[in-house]
Amino acid sequence: MSHIEKVCFDRILPSKLHQPPTGRMLMLTKGPARAAFEISKLWTNGKTLHIRFLNGTAQQKQIVKQFAPQWTEHANLKLIFDDAPTAQIRIAFNDDGAWSYIGTDALGIPANQPTMNFGWQDEGVVLHEFGHLIGMIHEHQNPNGNSIEWNKPAVIKALSGPPNNWDQATIQHNMFDKYSQTQINGSQLDPASVMLYSFPVGWTLNGFHSAPNEVLSPVDMTFAGKIYPKQPVVAGPVELTFGTAKAASIRLPGEEDLYKFTAQTAGRYTIETQGPTDVVMKLYGPSNTLIAEDDDGGVGLNSRIVRSLMPGDYLVQIRHYNRAGGTGTYSVKVSKS
């Protein structure tokens, strides 16, 4: 980024304010290259994301429109800047730093509040924040191959003052916390990633530092395409019979299996998977609204969602945890208690 001490911070949902970043990520491996995506916060492949500007000048808006679509040249997502009242992504240009919610966390934010903010702008900042939008995390929080030894007093001093003015909790969450080693697949840190902070050598004890990464690295582009492949495999939707497990399988990497059911009456419903395959499940309600998502809430690596639902039609999306390479068998069942 242009100014070494101007750094982005992750916005996290109120319910997760006091939790360390231990959610499972998918860190795809091929040689030393890697990219880090938070697995539970990925959008449905091929998703159209509507974007609304809450304020800002014509020039500020144009900078975002100019650079953000670079991600969609590689990832199978569509960005539409239409200022729709129901837009999933709302952008502000407030004097509040540069930040974004990660992936589908944006859906948990009230419609009149921003999900992304640009307190300053250039190409690298826009690409960085939209990297968070598609589900990417900060590169320096990768526990694999991470050779960064922080000079914590120096980092805290720099980030506590202008222009960031972070408190201790924000610094801890965005700089020093790492994702759990037991919850990831991954290899080495990508020093060229647009998701890596720019920081001076004085912030570390071992000489590690990072120059501004203003463009997408080859690894950024490659793995965005693997996480959101341009030719998705979508199966279904298949009608689910209440109380009966439906046998299924993810036959090809990147496949997304869709199921549907109708809740005839209001009540508490359970949707769950069984089997040996590590799957991730999302539940969408009427008007295609994301209601819930789950990774390992069931037995073993299976998913389980329990929700009180109103009458209506619902859609269940199931995919492998490893979207780029995973396959396997499973079953899915919906029941009402």
Query: Which phi and psi angles does 141 have, rounded to 5°?
Result: -95, 10
Alpha helices in the chain (DSSP H): 58-67, 123-133, 152-160, 168-171, 218-227
Region 48-53 average pLDDT: 97
Domains of the chain: 9-227 (3.40.390.10), 234-336 (2.60.120.380)
Model-level pTM greater than 0.85? no
Q: Is the pLDDT of residue 196 over 90?
A: no
Q: Is the pLDDT of residue 13 over 60?
A: no
Region 218-227 average pLDDT: 86
CA separation (Å) from 137 to 55, 71, 199, 287?
A: 26, 15, 17, 29
The residue among 326, 230, 310, 266 whose CA lies nearest residue 26 is: 326
Give the Cα separation of 127 and 4 in Å (integer). 16
The most confident of the ranges 159-163, 227-231, 273-277 is 273-277
The mean predicted confidence, pLDDT, of the chain is 83
Could you tell me if residue 68 is left (phi over 0), alpha (psi between -120 and 50 degrees) or otherwise beta? alpha
Q: Is the pLDDT of residue 230 over 80?
A: yes
- Which one has a higher pLDDT value, 197 or 91? 91
Distance of CA 129 to the CA centre of its chain: 11
Return the pLDDT at 182: 42
Region 199-219 average pLDDT: 87
Tokens of 131: 């990297």
Q: Are 99 and 117 in contact (CB under 8 A)?
A: yes
Give the Cα separation of 197 and 66 in Å (integer). 22
Query: Which phi and psi angles does 148 have, rounded to 5°?
Result: -80, 120
Region 104-121 average pLDDT: 92
